[in-house]
Structure 1
Amino acid sequence: MRLLANLPSRVLTSRGWGLVITGVLALLTAQVLGRRDLLYVGVLLVCLPLLSVLMLRLIKPRFTVERKFAPQTMETGFTSTVTLSVRSSGPLSGTVVMQERIPARFGESPEFHFPSRHPSAQGASHYEYRLRSSSRGVYDVGPVTAAFTDPFGLGTSRHTLGGTERLVVTPAPLDLPHSPLTGARGADGFAATRRNANPSDDDVMTREYRAGDPMRRVHWAATARHNELMVRQEESVTTPEATLILDQRQARYSSGFHSAFGVENDDGTSLLFSPGFEWAVVAAMSITAHLLERNYALRFVDETGAPALRSSVSAPWPDDEEHQGQTGIHNVAEGLAALELSPDPAKRTTTRRTSRRAASPSRSSQAGPNRFTPFGDPMMDKLATYKHRGPLLAILGAITAAEARDLAAAAEFGSTSFAILVADRPQDLHPVMEILRAAGWHAVAVSPSADLTAAWTYFDSPGAASASTAKTTVPSAGGWTGGRA
Structure 2
Amino acid sequence: MALMDRFPRHVFSSRGWGLLAAGALALLAAHITGRRDLLALATLLIFLPLLALAGTRLLRPQFRVYREFSPSTVETSARSTVRLAVARSAAGSGHALMEERLPPRFGESPAFRFPSRSSLGGTSYYEYHLRSRKRGQFLIGPVTAEISDPFGLARRRQAIDDGDLLTVTPAAVDLSPTGLAGARGYDGATPTRAGANPSNDDIMTREYRQGDPMRRVHWPATARHGALMVRQEESVATPEATIIMDQRRSAYPDGGPPPRPGARRSGDRGGHEPVTCDAFEWAVTAVMSVSAHLSGRNYKLRCLDVSGSPAFLLSPSAPEPAAEEYAGASGLQSVAESLAAIQLSGAPPHRRDNTTTPDPVTGVPVTGSGPLPFDDRLMDKLAAHRQRGPILAVTGMLTLAEARALSPAAGLGANAFAIVITDGTPDTDAVLDALRLGGWRAVAVTAATALPSAWAAYDEDTAGAPAAAGQRGAGDRR
Give me the CA root mean square deviation.
3.4
Unmatched 5+ stretches in structure 2: 199-204, 216-229
Q: Deviations over 1:67-115 (max 9, x none)?
A: 1111111111112111111101223343311111221221122111111
Seen in structure 2, the aligned counterparts of structure 1 residues 192 and 247 have a Cα distance that, compared at 3 Å, is: closer
Seen in structure 2, the aligned counterparts of structure 1 residues 192 and 156 have a Cα distance that, compared at 3 Å, is: closer
Please identify, of 310-319 and 337-346, the stretch whose mean Cα deviation from structure 2 is larger. 337-346
Q: Deviations over 1:104-141 (max 9, x none)?
A: 221122111111112012x1111111111111111112
**Map of 1:260 onto structure 2:** 256
Q: Deviations over 1:386-429 (max 9, x none)?
A: 11110111101110111111111111111111001001116741
Partner amino acid for 1:326? A
Seen in structure 2, the aligned counterparts of structure 1 residues 50 and 212 have a Cα distance that, compared at 3 Å, is: closer
Matches within 5 A, 1:167-186: 167-182=166-181
- CA distance in structure 2 between the aligned counterparts of 1:391 and 1:215, rounded to whole angstroms: 39
Seen in structure 2, the aligned counterparts of structure 1 residues 68 and 191 have a Cα distance that, compared at 3 Å, is: closer
- CA distance in structure 1 between the aligned counterparts of 2:377 and 2:255, rounded to whole angstroms: 29
Matches within 5 A, 1:186-265: 189=184, 194=189, 196=191, 213-214=208-209, 216-218=211-213, 233-254=232-253, 258-261=254-257
Q: Deviations over 1:454-482 (max 9, x none)?
A: 11111111x221xxxx42x1111345634
1:443 match: secondary structure: strand
Seen in structure 2, the aligned counterparts of structure 1 residues 175 and 204 have a Cα distance that, compared at 3 Å, is: farther
**Map of 2:108 onto structure 1:** 108
Partner amino acid for 2:312? L
- CA distance in structure 2 between the aligned counterparts of 1:177 and 1:161, rounded to whole angstroms: 49
2:128 match: secondary structure: strand
1:237 match: secondary structure: strand
- CA distance in structure 2 between the aligned counterparts of 1:447 and 1:212, rounded to whole angstroms: 56
| Alpha-carbon offset, residue 268 of structure 1 | 8.8
Seen in structure 2, the aligned counterparts of structure 1 residues 396 and 348 have a Cα distance that, compared at 3 Å, is: farther
- CA distance in structure 2 between the aligned counterparts of 1:373 and 1:205, rounded to whole angstroms: 50
2:432 match: secondary structure: helix
Seen in structure 2, the aligned counterparts of structure 1 residues 93 and 477 have a Cα distance that, compared at 3 Å, is: same
Partner amino acid for 2:278? P
- CA distance in structure 2 between the aligned counterparts of 1:281 and 1:247, rounded to whole angstroms: 10
- CA distance in structure 1 between the aligned counterparts of 2:93 and 2:171, rounded to whole angstroms: 46
**Map of 2:140 onto structure 1:** 141
- CA distance in structure 1 between the aligned counterparts of 2:77 and 2:206, rounded to whole angstroms: 62
- CA distance in structure 1 between the aligned counterparts of 2:450 and 2:471, rounded to whole angstroms: 9
Seen in structure 2, the aligned counterparts of structure 1 residues 233 and 480 have a Cα distance that, compared at 3 Å, is: closer
The answer as to whether partners of 1:106 and 1:131 remain within 8 angstroms in 2 is yes
**Map of 1:88 onto structure 2:** 88
Seen in structure 2, the aligned counterparts of structure 1 residues 192 and 79 have a Cα distance that, compared at 3 Å, is: closer
**Map of 1:43 onto structure 2:** 43
**Map of 1:363 onto structure 2:** none
Please identify, of 406-415 and 32-41, the stretch whose mean Cα deviation from structure 2 is larger. 32-41
Partner amino acid for 1:92? G
Seen in structure 2, the aligned counterparts of structure 1 residues 192 and 314 have a Cα distance that, compared at 3 Å, is: closer
Q: Deviations over 1:318-346 (max 9, x none)?
A: 11111111111111111111111122499
Seen in structure 2, the aligned counterparts of structure 1 residues 114 and 438 have a Cα distance that, compared at 3 Å, is: same
Aligned length: 445
The answer as to whether partners of 2:448 and 2:476 remain within 8 angstroms in 1 is no
The answer as to whether partners of 2:100 and 2:143 remain within 8 angstroms in 1 is yes
**Map of 1:67 onto structure 2:** 67
* Of 471, 474, 477, the match for 1:481: 474
Matches within 5 A, 1:8-407: 8-121=8-121, 123-182=122-181, 189=184, 194=189, 196=191, 213-214=208-209, 216-218=211-213, 233-254=232-253, 258-261=254-257, 267=270, 271-344=274-347, 352-353=361-362, 372-407=371-406
- CA distance in structure 2 between the aligned counterparts of 1:371 and 1:30, rounded to whole angstroms: 77
Please identify, of 309-318 and 338-347, the stretch whose mean Cα deviation from structure 2 is larger. 338-347
- CA distance in structure 2 between the aligned counterparts of 1:58 and 1:371, rounded to whole angstroms: 53
Seen in structure 2, the aligned counterparts of structure 1 residues 52 and 283 have a Cα distance that, compared at 3 Å, is: same
The answer as to whether partners of 2:345 and 2:361 remain within 8 angstroms in 1 is no
- CA distance in structure 2 between the aligned counterparts of 1:250 and 1:351, rounded to whole angstroms: 11
Identity %, equivalent residues: 43
| Alpha-carbon offset, residue 237 of structure 1 | 2.0
The answer as to whether partners of 2:244 and 2:394 remain within 8 angstroms in 1 is yes
Please identify, of 44-53 and 232-241, the stretch whose mean Cα deviation from structure 2 is larger. 232-241
